[in-house]
Chain A
Amino acid sequence: MNENLLKGYNNHDHIWDEMFDSADIRAAYKNFVSAIEDLSSEQMNHKDELAKKLFMSQGITFTVYSSGEGIEKIFPFDIIPRIIKADEWNHIEIGIKQRLKALNIFLKDIYHQQFIIKDGIIPGKLIYSCPNFLREMMNVDVPFDIYTHIAGIDLIRDDKGEFYVLEDNLRTPSGVSYMLENRGITYRIFPDLLPRNNVRRVKEYPDLLLKNLMMLANSKTNYPTVVLLSPGIYNSAYFEHTSLARLMGIELVEGSDLVVDNHFVYMKTTKGLKQVDVIYRRVDDEFLDPLVFRSDSILGVSGIYSAYRKGNVAIVNAMGNGVADDKAVYTYVPDMIKYYLNEEPILKNVPTYQLEVPEYRKMVFEKIKEMVIKRTNESGGYGMLIGNAATDQQIEDFKIAIEADPRNFIAQPIINLSSAPCYINGCFRPRRVDLRPFALYGPDGIDIVPGGLTRVALKEGSLVVNSSQGGGSKDTWVLG
C-alpha cells in the first residue's frame, strides 16, 4: 500500500466526509480505494497529468477573453470520483422530483390565476418585487404547462450527512457537459473501475433531452426543427453548447442566424429560410428579444417573444422562470410543496432569513459571523458575504447595502459543506463539495440521470465551489 496517499487525511468531526467515517473508509468507497491504494505516486501523478492533457487536446476549455486573443483554461478537474450509494441517490431523486413538480406548478400558477398569493401562502409583494418576474409572461400558455424543462438543483450535506437544497437553478443551468466529459476522462484514467463498481451510466442525458425537445413540437410537424441558441463563441459555456448540439445532432445557432417573420421563427441557411419549431436557448431572458426586453441586446432575436406567445415556437426553458429560483422565493418552496402537492418536503431547505423582516435583520446583524449573506438575484458565487471569512470593512459595507435595499438580501447560517478526498500534491486532501444533479422535465414526466456535477472548492478551507471563484469538479458515481 502506498502509505503516503492516505496519510494525514485530517477530516474534522464537525464536517461530514464522503469517504471516511471517523477512522474507517465508508462502504461506497472501499472498492475504489482498494483498487488504487497500491499505485505509486508516479502512477497517480501520471493519471493526474493525463487528465489535464485530455481536457486540453479535446478542447474542453473555456476561454478568458481579456486581451484580444483568448486564454485557454481548463475547468480544474480532480481525478478522485465522488461516490454516492444507491439508497442515497433514491432519496435525492424522489426529493428533486417532488420539488420540481411543485416549482413547475408554482410558475404556472404565478403566471395565471395566482392562487398561492390569494390564499396568502406567499406575499404578493415578494413576487412583484422580484426583478425576474416577467409581466410579459402573464397568461401565456406554454406547451404541456412545462416551464422548467431543464433544472440544476444544488445540494449540500451538513455534518450529519443529510442533504439540503442550497439553490434551485431553473433558468439556464450549466455544467451538464462536464458531467458527461468527466465520465469520459475517468474511463481513460481508471480503466475497468467503472464496470467493477457497478457505476450507473449518465450518457443517456442528450437522448432524453432531445426526446423532450422533439415532443414539444409534436402537434405541428413530424420532423420538427430543434435548435440550440447560444450567445456565441465568447460565452464561457460555449464548449457546453457545442457539445450538447453535437450530441443531440441539432443545429447550433446564434441570435443573428434567426429571424422572425409574421410571428414564425426561421433560420438563415444556404438554401434560404427554414422554420424553427423548438429552441433550446442558453441566452438569458433579458437578452432574448430586444423589442420586449433589453433593447441593446444583440444576442437575441427581434420578435421572438410574440412568436412564443402565439405558440409558433417552443422555447426551453420557459421565459420568466427566474421568479421561482429567486433566493427570497426559495424560502417558500417547502410551503409550495405542502400547498400544491399536499406532501411533506423530502429534501430540506437551508434555513433562510429574509432580511426584509426587521427582526431577522436584527438577529442576523448580531450573529453575522455565523451567517452567509446573499443577494437574491445573483449567482456564480458573486454578491455574497461569508461572515467568518469577511473583514470588518466588508461586513460594514454589506450592512449599509442591506439597509438600503433589504428585499434583495437573504441570510443563511454557514453550513459546513461535506468534504471529499481530492488528489493534491501527491496525497489525498479533504475539500468541500456540493452536488448538482440535472433534471429533465418532459411531457412524459421527470428524468434525472444518475449522477450530476460535483463541484469542489479546491482552496483549503474554502466553502465556495463556483468555477469563477477557484472551484473545480469531480466525476460523480452513483452506484447501482
Chain B
Amino acid sequence: MLSRVANSICWIARYMERTNGMLRLLRTNYISSQDEVADFSWHSVLRLYSDLPSSQTEQIKNNSSKVLDHLILDTNNTASVCNNIYRSRENARAAQDHITKEVWQCLNDYHHLVRDQQIHNQIRYGEPLTPMDALIQHGMLYYGTVDSTMARGEGFNYLNVGKFLERAILSADMLNIKLAELNADAARPPDSIEWRYLLYSLSGYELYLKTYQGKFETKNVVAQVLYDNNFPHSVLYCLQQLTRYFERLKEESLPDSYAEVEFLIGKTTNHVKYSNIENAGEKAQQYFLNEVRRELFQIANAFNQYYFGNP
C-alpha cells in the first residue's frame, strides 16, 4: 500500500474516533448542565476543543446552545465536530480506492448530515440531544460498515491501528482532565456524580455498576479506565488491540520499521499493564497519565516516520 494512502486511512479512523469521543463527551456534559443546580460551566471542555481567545470563552461558557454550536458546527473552530468529520472524509477521498464504496458513502453521508439545516436549527434553537444522538448513531453506522464490508487486509489493519491509538489517547486524556478538575477544587469531595459523567462519556457506566456494585471511588474508576480488559475504552485494552492489528502488518512491513514500532508499542503496553497506579495519590496518577500520553504520541510519530514516509 502507498505510504500516503496508509497515512490517510489511519487518519480516517483517528478523526472518526475523535468525533465519537467528542460527541459523547458533549452529550454527557449537556445532560449534566441540565442536571446541576449550580451554574454549570463549559470551561474545561472549551479549553480542550476550542481555539477561541479566553475573553470569548468567558462570554459563552454558561450558554449551552452557543457552546454546542461552536464545538459541533463552527467551521472556524479547527477542533469542531464538523471539521473532524470533514477531515475524515477528505482523507477518505484521498484513499478511496482502498476503502470500500460503502465506507466512503457512509463518511460522505456523515459529512452531509452534519451540514444539514435541520440539525443546525435543532442544536441552535431547539433541544440538542436529538441531533447529537443522530450524529452519534451515524458514527456507530460507520463502525459497523467498516466491520462488515472492509476486507481484512492492510486497509482494515490501518483503520484499527488509527482507531485504537486515538481511543487510548482519548481515554487517558479524559481521565486526566477529570482528575485535574477534582484536584484543583480541594474543598469539593470526590463526587460520585463526576465519576458517573466520565463513565457515561466513555460508554463504561453500566460495566462499572456491574463490576463495583455502585460504589464510586477514584481508585475503581482509574482501574477500569486504565486496566479493564473487558472495557473497550480502557487504555490497556486499546493497546492490546493496537498490538494485535499491528502484528498483522508484519508481512507488509520492512523488518527494520516493524522492529522500531513494535518496540514502542510493547514498551507502552507493559508500562501500563504493570503500573498499579490506581492506589497511588492523585498527583502521581496525573504524572503517570501524562507519561502514557507522551508514549502514545511517540508511537504515532514512529508510524509517521517508518510507515507513512513523513520523517
Residues in chain A within 8 A of chain B (CB atoms): 56-59, 69, 72, 232-233, 238, 242-243, 245-246, 250-254, 256-257, 267-272
CB distance from B40 to the nearest CB of A (A): 32
**C-alpha gap A251/B155 in the complex (Å):** 13
Cβ contact of A267, chosen from B2, B105, B252, cutoff 8 A: B2
Whether A257 lies near B4 (C-beta < 8 A) is yes
CB contacts (< 8 Å) of A72 on chain B: these are 112
- Contact B94 A269, beta carbon cutoff 8 Å: no
Q: A59-B104, A59-B105 are in contact. Are A233 and B3 (CB under 8 A)?
A: no
> Are B75 and A270 in contact (CB-based, < 8 A)?
no
Q: A57-B109, A58-B108, A270-B252 are in contact. Are A251 and B93 (CB under 8 A)?
A: no
The residues of A that contact B2 with a CB separation of less than 8 Å are 251, 253, 257, 267-270
Question: Of all chain B residues, which has the CB nearest A68?
Answer: B75
10 chain-A/chain-B pairs, Cβ below 8 angstroms:
A59-B108, A251-B97, A257-B3, A268-B309, A269-B1, A270-B3, A270-B6, A270-B249, A271-B252, A271-B253
Query: What residues on B are CB-neighbors of A243 within 8 Å?
Result: 96
Residue of A nearest to B82 (CB): A69
User: Are B93 and A57 in contact, with the CB atoms below 8 A?
Assistant: no
Q: Which residues of B contact A253 (CB under 8 A)?
A: 2
A242 and B104 alpha carbons, distance in the complex (Å): 11
Q: Which residues of B come within 8 Å of A, CB atoms?
A: 1-6, 75, 86, 90, 93-94, 96-97, 101, 104-105, 108-109, 112, 154, 249, 252-254, 257, 307-309
Q: Are B94 and A57 in contact (CB under 8 A)?
A: no
Q: How many pairs, one residue from A and one from B, have CB atoms within 8 Å of each other in the complex?
A: 63
Task: Identify 13 new A-B residue pairs, CB closer than 8 A, beyond the known A251-B2, A270-B307.
Answer: A233-B90, A242-B96, A242-B97, A243-B96, A246-B96, A246-B97, A251-B97, A256-B4, A268-B2, A268-B3, A269-B1, A269-B3, A272-B254
B270 to chain A, nearest CB (A): 26
Q: How far is the CA of A238 from the CA of B104 in the complex (A)?
A: 14
Taking the closest CB of chain A, its distance from the CB of B303, in whole angstroms, is: 10
List the A side residues contacting B6 at CB < 8 Å.
270
Indicate if the CB atoms of A56 and B307 lie closer than 8 Å: no
Q: Which residues from chain B contact A271 at a C-beta distance below 8 Å?
A: 252-254
Q: Which residues of A contact B105 (CB under 8 A)?
A: 57-59
Give Cα A257 to B2, complex, Å: 7
CA distance A253 to B101 in the complex (A): 18
* CB < 8 Å neighbour of A254 from B4, B96, B308: B4
Whether A56 touches B112, Cβ cut-off 8 Å, given contacts A268-B309, A270-B3, is: yes
- The answer to whether A252 and B93 touch across the interface, beta carbons within 8 angstroms, is no
Note all chain A residues with C-beta closer than 8 A to B257. 270
B254: chain A residues within 8 A (beta carbon): 271-272
CA distance A271 to B154 in the complex (A): 11
Complex Cα gap A254–B249 (Å): 24
Q: How far is the CA of A59 from the CA of B102 in the complex (A)?
A: 11
The smallest beta-carbon distance between A274 and chain B, in angstroms, is 9
